[in-house]
Amino acid sequence: MVEKTFNFIVNGGKATGGPPIGPALGPMGVNIMAIVNEINSQTAEYDGLPVPVDVTIDTDTREFSVKVGMLTTFALISQAAGLDKGSGEPNSKFVADLSFDQLIGVAKKKRAGIYAATLKTAVREVLGTCQSAGVTVDGRPAKEVQEAIKAGEFDSQLAE
């Protein structure tokens, strides 16, 4: 049993049998459209965002597995806020606003890829990216929300 792994960056939910997937997998003798359909089903929630994907193929049986990689924190914030790019002046010009629930959702998605011991610390880490991108949370600057979390204002929502 020899396994071969291929790494691709695809637009979430919009992979095709064309380049880069088709030409890379064609010589393996696998059903490319079955792989593309699996990639699209696993990346559908990241519609249009660039998503890293690993495809592992058993060269003997031609069975495959698809593993979706972790998106950047900024990409997840952008998706939640409907944002194209961050602010050039993040401390004075704000480009988007997230609800606290959206912030928690981003932190939960990102939690597996960061070293946060609790949901509270994961949320605070995501808030750092919000600060850098010029994104507010419930109309409040990220630094202010950070202080509110430290003071225990959101403890009931951050309980695990």
Please give the order of strands across the beta sheet that includes 64-68: 3-11, 50-58, 64-68
Task: Provide the 10 A C-beta neighbour count for residue 52.
Answer: 15
Q: What is the pLDDT of residues 26-48, one digit of tens each?
A: 999 899 999 999 999 999 988 87
Do the Cβ atoms of 28 and 2 come closer than 8 Å? no
Residues 49 and 75: beta-carbon distance below 8 Å = yes
Q: How many whole angstroms separate alpha carbon 61 and alpha carbon 90?
A: 52
**What is the average pLDDT value for the chain, to the nearest integer?**
92
Q: Determine the distance from the C-alpha atom of residue 13 to the mean position of all C-alpha atoms in its chain, rounded to a whole number.
A: 13
Q: Mind listing the domains of the chain with CATH numbers?
A: 3-68 (3.30.1550.10), 73-150 (1.10.10.250)
Q: How far apart are CA 1 and CA 12, in angstroms?
A: 30
pLDDT digits (tens, 9 = 90+) for 104-159: 999 998 988 888 889 999 999 999 999 999 999 999 999 999 999 999 999 998 88
